[in-house]
């Protein structure tokens, strides 16, 4: 899972949250299947782009939320 540098809350906070929940954030987008936050440049077809709210809601609900309601559209 990759966290966009342009994410809000800030990337460092989301990385910390991911790690606390057992996740392993990717340092580069090409190593991830999911991107949290707005993408920079061209979108990769193999990556699912989600709102930061997906991560926050998943933590708050203690379950992985479905992607459908959090997809970032081009």
Query: Rounded to whole angstroms, how far apart are CA atoms 71 and 34?
Result: 10
**Span 4-60, pLDDT tens digits:** 999 999 999 999 999 999 989 999 999 999 999 998 888 999 999 999 999 999 999
Nearest CA to 64 out of 9, 25, 22 is that of 22
pLDDT of 73 reads 85
Q: What is the pTM of this model?
A: 0.89
pLDDT of residue 62 exceeding 90, the answer is yes
Structural domains in the chain, sorted by start: 2-70 (3.40.50.10190)
pLDDT of residue 74 exceeding 80, the answer is no
């Amino acid at each position: 899972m990759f966290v966009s540098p342009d994410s809000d809350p800030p990337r460092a906070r989301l990385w910390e949250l991911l790690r606390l929940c057992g996740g392993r954030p990717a340092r580069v987008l090409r190593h991830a299947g999911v991107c949290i936050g707005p993408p920079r440049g061209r979108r990769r077809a193999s990556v699912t782009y989600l709102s930061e709210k997906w991560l926050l809601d998943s933590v708050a609900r203690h379950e992985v939320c479905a992607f459908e309601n959090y997809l970032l559209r081009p």
